Every structure is written in structure tokens, then in C-alpha cells.
Structure 1
Amino acid sequence: MTAVYDTPVVLDRRDGPYGEVVLRRHGALLQIIANGCFLMDTSDGRSERLLVDAARTALDGRPEPKLLLGGLGVGFSLAHAAADPRWGRITVVEREPAVIGWHRDGPLAEVSAGALADPRTSIVEADLVTYVNETSDTFDALCLDIDNGPGWTVTEDNDSLYAPAGLAACARVLRPGGVLAVWSAEPSPEFEGSLRNAGFQQVRTEEVPVARGVPDAVHLGVRPG
């Protein structure tokens, strides 16, 4: 008997400010594709939850810490943060209006509806690179999940975020002792070095095994007090 495989079904396709973004359903999964590059889906979410939990643990009991999430994605990080009453205000910066719409009144609401209704949550439609350079707000934790990793960015503009000036901007929006957590599709010893060179302390990497291939990773660094 010939195996039958689900064929992805495009639910929405839009030309956004940074190119084409597509939401599709593949069996039970929802997937986000940007400029033909697979970004993420709703298959697991363990590493996205680790991203938030590792940052919270590194804050060592700081009361009601303010969280900045870079990237809304499929909503796993936001939903997990909002499910934790220990977090204070949760701000999400997402540059793609289509992604925001898919969460507010589209298929991805099945992941994030509760989190979006949480009074602690606010969504900012902006480019994260611009936001960390221009905002006057400060946070206790910044969790970045806007690319497939420091060495595999969605657009070339994002490369600057992982360069010295970009990491300095990330540190600028963190309060003393604040935590930077960066999601990556693979561990990057080079990026650990970049974090140390940018002045971050307690730099480390936590890994999440995947079914095939190299593990997902969360890179962590603490802004000096």
C-alpha cells in the first residue's frame, strides 16, 4: 500500500513589510513560512517554553519582573509566560501585522487567545531591532525568538541584532541583573563568545533534544548589576 501524506494547505498568504509571510496547516499543525523559509510550527514548543523559564529562573526570585518577548511566532512563548503568575508586565514586539492578525482573530488564536486577554499582555507592532534602539522602557528579561538563530536570520536586517551594537542595544533595555535569552535552532559557541564580548555575565547554553538532528538551544547572558 502506498503511504498517504498530508499536503500542506495555505490558510493565508500576505506581502508584509519584510516580504511574503504564509500561514499554512499541515495535518494538525499550523506553520509559519517567511520568504519561503520555514520558521516554526505548533508541533512541540518545548524550547520556546524553556526560553521563558530559563530567563525566569536566572532572575532568581525577582518580584513581578517585566518581560520583553521578541517575536510572537506561533504564540508558545507568550502563552507560557502568561500562564505563570510570577511575571509582571509582558510586552511582545512583532513586526509582521499578518502574524498579529492570525493571533487576534485567526487560526493561531487557539494557542494565544488566553494570553492576549491577560491584562499584563501588550502587543507592539514594530521591528525589534528598531525597538531596542529607540524605546525608553526597560525590562528584567528579554527573550528573543525572531530568527532560526544568530547565524540563520530571517532577513539580513536582523543580523545586526547579534552583532556588538545590537547586543549593546539589548543590554540597554535590560535593568541591572536582567537576563537576555536567545532561541536558536542549534547551539552556537561563537555566539556565546559574542555575548561575553558584549559584557554579559553567567553566559551559558541550555539544549532541548529534538527527534532528528542537532538540539534546539537557548543562549543566556546576564547584564552586570
Structure 2
Amino acid sequence: MIPWVQLDCAKTPDGRQELRLKRRGSEFSIMLGTNELMNSRLSGSEEALAKLSCRKIASHRQPRILIGGLGMGFTLRAALAELGGDAQIVVAELVPAVVAWARGPMAEMFGGCLDDPRVTVEETDVGQLIRSQASGYDAILLDVDNGPEGIVHKSNDALYSLQGLAAARTALKPGGVLAVWSQGSDSGFARRLKQAGFAVEEVNTRANGKRGARHVIWIATNGSRP
């Protein structure tokens, strides 16, 4: 069997933990300690995050999308495939090394999508972008950490609090969508989405098509378009 080789590492934003990029042949893995955060063979649920969201806003003209978390680019590439040439996609990635990996060791897998004219990458906290403007986005897609129960960066919890969800709703245009990827179900989070004023749909999906680990995507809609 081909052994795993560590290509690089980077500290998490709080400086307490370490992300590691590993490769085995053509397969990549991003690890946090003994936890595998993502693997290049398992893209199904991240792609579903983009597809479900973009189809909800298919009637929107010149849609503007915010993606929280670059990862291995699964959500970004799926969104680009769904959206037309008039779309704008902002990707917020808090760890600069992840962006460097996308342009470096994983560049072939990313297929130049970071250079698509529709894409802007911001090396910043997605929460800051959410709070920076009102009615700025048609969709906000959060693939941050492992979902509402984060393990990489505790400040991510603020995104999923009632206050954070209210800020996301303010940042969305009427008829906009907040879509959240999670490793598993969370009844408390679903309840907070409703308390924040969203109409909520919970979708079960798989990490790899019809196989692999079960993941959850919440599709939360911000009212209707005028």
C-alpha cells in the first residue's frame, strides 16, 4: 500500500492545534490531530451544499454568493458549475495555508477555479464578511469546521448562535438562502434557525454519492422575494 506523506502543516487560528496536509498517490487528506476533516475522495455532501443552494436561487439575476470555508474546493467548484456567468462568488478562508495548498500541491484538483473571474478569495473570518453588509448576498454557504459543533476554531460557534444566525439573515437578500453543512444532525441548531426567522429544510446526504458517512445540510430560506 502506498504510504501517506505529510506535505505541510499550519496552526489553527487559536494557535493550539495543527492542520496537516497529507497525500497518498493522487489522494489528499487534511487532518486535525487524529480527525480527518476532509478527503479528496469524499466530496458528495460538500457538492450537495452548493447544488441545493444554487437551485433555490436559480431565478435570481446576478446572484452573489458567500462561501465560508475553502477546504478542498468541492463546494466552490459545484457552485461554479451551477451558476451562470453573471454570478459573483466570495470565498472566505481563515487559514492562509489552505489557500496556499489550493494553489500549490492541490492545484491540479482545483482545476484553476480560483482564477475564475467570478471568484474572489478573502483570507478572513466569514463572520466578519457576514456582518459587514446588509442584504448583500443571495446565498451564504457555510462549510466551516464540522458544523455547529466545531472542533477547529471555537469562535466558529458564534456563527451558529442565535445572534450569528440573525446576522446571516440580515446579510441575505429577500428570498436568500443560508445553507449549513454539518457532520451530523443537531436539533438545537435547527430550532435556532427557526427562532432566527428562517424557513428550514433539513436534508440528509452522503459523503460519497449513495455511500459513505451520513451528513446533514440545512437549507434556511429568508422569506420571499418582493
Across the two proteins, how many residue pairs are aligned to each other?
A: 218
**Contact 2:13 2:153 survives alignment (8 Å):** no
Matched, 1:207 2:207: no
TM-score (normalised: structure 1): 0.88
The Cα shift of 1:191 comes to 1.8
Aligned residue in 2 for 1:30: 28
The Cα shift of 1:59 comes to 1.8
Aligned residue in 1 for 2:126: 128
**CA distance, structure 1, for counterparts of residue 212 and residue 99 of structure 2:** 30
Q: CA RMSD in A?
A: 2.0
**Contact 1:78 1:112 survives alignment (8 Å):** no
1:51 partner amino acid: L
Match of 2:5 among 3, 9, 14: 9
The Cα shift of 1:205 comes to 1.2
Fraction of identical pairs, as percent:
36
The Cα shift of 1:35 comes to 5.5
**CA distance, structure 2, for counterparts of residue 149 and residue 68 of structure 1:** 16
**CA distance, structure 2, for counterparts of residue 18 and residue 137 of structure 1:** 30
1:159 partner amino acid: D
1:91 partner amino acid: V
1:45 partner amino acid: S
**CA distance, structure 2, for counterparts of residue 21 and residue 123 of structure 1:** 20
1:82-116 Cα offsets, whole Å, 9 max, x none, are 22342600110001110011112x12212223211
- Corresponding residue SS for 1:83: helix
Question: Which stretches in structure 2 are left out of the alignment for 5+ residues?
Answer: none
Name which of structure 1's ranges 18-27 and 142-151 shifts more when overlaid on structure 2: 18-27
**CA distance, structure 2, for counterparts of residue 140 and residue 34 of structure 1:** 32
**CA distance, structure 2, for counterparts of residue 81 and residue 43 of structure 1:** 18
The Cα shift of 1:223 comes to 1.0
